[in-house]
Amino acid sequence: MGNTVEKSKGKLLGPGSLLLLPADHPHYVWSEEQETIIQVTAIGPFDLIYVNPEDDPRNK
């Protein structure tokens, strides 16, 4: 959780894991050597806001 990636504070989520996050809560995800599928589900309006707009692939 937070505005910047800090892998030392990260938690490994295994297959079938569930992570619930409150609205407007900065967080990050990453994967390394294994294939990873992330499913995002939301109720109501949903928006993806990058803390650093330069990281947003839509701005490239």
The rounded distance, in Å, linking the Cα atoms of 38 and 59 is 22
Domain ranges of the chain: 1-18+27-60
**Cα(26)–Cα(50) distance, rounded to whole angstroms?**
9
pTM value is 0.57
Those residues whose C-beta lies under 8 Å from the C-beta of residue 29, and which sit 6 or more positions away, are: 38
pLDDT (tens digit, 0 to 9) for every residue of the chain, 60 residues total?
888 888 898 888 888 999 888 888 888 888 888 888 888 888 888 888 888 899 899 988
